[in-house]
Amino acid sequence: MLDHEHDPGSALKRYMSQSKPAEARELMCSGALLFFSHGQQNSASDLSMLVLESLEKAEVEVADELLESLAKLFSLMDPNSPERVAFVSRALKWSSGGSGKLGHPRLHQLLALTLWKEQNYCESRYHFLHSSDGEGCANMLVEYATSRGFRSEVDMFVAQAVLQYVPFAVLPWLAWPPGARGWPLSRALSGLSRTFLCLKNKSSASVVFTTYTQKHPSIENGPPFVQPLLNFIWFLLLAVDGGKLTVFTVLCEQYQPSLRRDPMYNEYLDRIGQLFFGVPPKQTSSYGGLLGNLLSSLMGSSEQEGEDSQDDSSPIELD
């Protein structure tokens, strides 16, 4: 029987009071790992929280070694325990003192990998979207789509990932119901209100799209692709580089049948239009909806574009 089962941190708290927080933190981490190895989840979780407390009080700078230690503790916690939720929330908040207001990208990546191994694809996806690991995100999405989605949804999985890089502050934690194969993707993701491109993370978005379309067994080599929605995402990534409102407007107009598959797409695109193409915030127009807002923007900017708009008016071919 291990000592300190009921109060595992008492001796270590006294050690911390002796101005040796680093040594105490190392002992707490080792102790937590020992408790985990003996299946004593409560004591291990208590020590894990004390590790975080020591990092916060000592205002320790974020380092890869510390992030890896926190991710290791997270991976050993009971996936269904409230302590794990509290731990990850607190760990992300501490790590935001380094780089990334929503938590350090490296910590998000490590958490995503753990959740992926647990086949918790929805939460893994969330953390991948806050990391810089576009390739890992794409590989997880391939497994997610092939194991949980219908064949008709293969394009929607990557479209959502490209369009959604969601800020931590507004994202509800989503749980995919166990065994709910083919649960409507739009329902699972309907609460998300920001995007990959909305955070101007085009580089990661491009990596996710390229890797996913190359590795998914049901997607034939492209571009162009058989699925119109994939062609839209491909064109959109190209259009973002140019920043031409006319091109963006034509894309959204031509691909409306595909965009109607998920009622959230037009909301994401409205935000992307604001960030990359100078579209003003959504307002009521006589046309209504995203296209109405785009048309109003086009008419309002026609005088400013002048001759440049004529140079950019060459037709583009869309599938």
Category of 77 on φ-ψ map: left (φ > 0), alpha (ψ -120 to 50) or beta: beta
What is the pLDDT at residue 224? 96
**Residue 183 above 90 pLDDT?**
no
**Count of beta carbons in the 10 Å neighbourhood of residue 229:** 20
d(CA 75, CA 203): 29
d(CA 137, CA 145): 12
Please, are residues 122 and 83 in contact by the beta-carbon 8 Å criterion?
A: no
Average pLDDT of the residues in 243-264: 94
Lowest mean pLDDT segment, chosen from 26-40, 207-221, 261-275: 261-275
Is the bond into 79 cis (omega within 30 degrees of 0)?
no
d(CA 52, CA 32): 12
What is the pLDDT at residue 203? 84
Category of 59 on φ-ψ map: left (φ > 0), alpha (ψ -120 to 50) or beta: left
Specify the 3-state DSSP secondary structure of 118.
Answer: coil
**Residue 26 above 80 pLDDT?**
yes
Average pLDDT of the residues in 295-310: 54
d(CA 274, CA 291): 13
What is the pLDDT at residue 10? 60
**Residue 312 above 50 pLDDT?**
no
Residue 3's pLDDT band, with cuts at 50, 70 and 90, is: very low
pLDDT tens-digit series, residues 44-60: 999 999 999 999 988 89
**Residue 295 above 50 pLDDT?**
yes
Average predicted confidence (pLDDT) for the chain = 80
Average pLDDT of the residues in 132-148: 96
pLDDT tens-digit series, residues 85-136: 999 999 999 999 855 578 999 999 999 999 999 999 999 999 998 888 999 9
Please, are residues 105 and 99 in contact by the beta-carbon 8 Å criterion?
A: yes
Q: Using a pLDDT cut of 70, give the percent of the chain over it.
A: 70
Tokens 């780089």 locate to 99
**Count of beta carbons in the 10 Å neighbourhood of residue 309:** 16
